Amino acid sequence: MKVINQLKMEFLSLPANVAFARVAVAAFASQLDFTLNDLEEIKVAVSEAVANAIVHGYENSPTGIVRVLVTLLETGVEIRVEDNGKGIADVKKALEPAYSTDPERMGLGFVFMQSFMDRLHVDSSPARGTRITMIKNINNRGAAAASQGGH
């Protein structure tokens, strides 16, 4: 797959950076032929991934570093969100709908990532951190929505 463009960014694990990451990634991804709906779905998925790193990975400590790598490909976009936080002991369990280690949270972050992206892979180990890789293809669901009159 040919790489068209790439963006790397790092920021502190501050809640304010969730909004920054979602807007920056969507603006970068807009170089490809995504629909507005696709870009909104990318924003939600990025928000959830970055929020997970901050809330769960770093347990809301503002001193962690969240890394985001966005690669634009001919076929779509690959987004990686990484942290060096506490990691996930049971990734399979964490991917279950409504599962959360925090009773204050709904546990839908991975559900949103899975439903809005075409592929989701979570690589994590306790005390070493987590890497979430998401892929959104161009004209996958976007073409179906456009043919039904929606954008």
The pLDDT of residue 148 is above 70 = no
Adjacent-strand bridge partners of 112: none
Confidence of residue 140 (pLDDT cuts 50, 70, 90): low
Q: Structural domain boundaries of the chain?
A: 3-147
pTM, two decimal places: 0.88
22-46 pLDDT, tens digit per residue, is 999 999 999 999 999 999 999 999 9
91-135 pLDDT, tens digit per residue, is 998 888 877 776 677 677 898 999 999 999 999 999 999 999 999
Which residue type does 73 have? L
Question: Residue 94 and residue 107: Cα distance in Å, rounded?
Answer: 8
The pLDDT of residue 50 is above 80 = yes
Structure tokens at 30: 């807009």
Which residues are known catalytic residues? 48, 52, 105
Residue with tokens 């996958």: 140
39-57 in b/e form (b: 16+ CB < 10 A) is bebbbbbbbbbbbbbbbbb
pLDDT at 150: 45
52-104 pLDDT, tens digit per residue, is 999 999 999 999 999 999 999 999 999 999 999 999 999 998 888 877 776 67
How many C-beta neighbours within 10 Å does residue 107 have?
15
pLDDT at 99: 73
Query: Residue 78: which of 68, 70, 67 has the closest Cα?
Result: 70
Residues with Cβ within 8 Å of residue 122, at least 6 apart in sequence? 88, 91, 94, 95, 110, 130, 131, 132, 133
pLDDT at 142: 41
pLDDT at 42: 98
Q: What is the DSSP letter of 57?
A: I
Kindly state the percentage of the chain with pLDDT values over 90.
Answer: 77
Q: What is the CATH number of domain 3-147?
A: 3.30.565.10
CB 110, CB 103: distance < 8 Å:
no
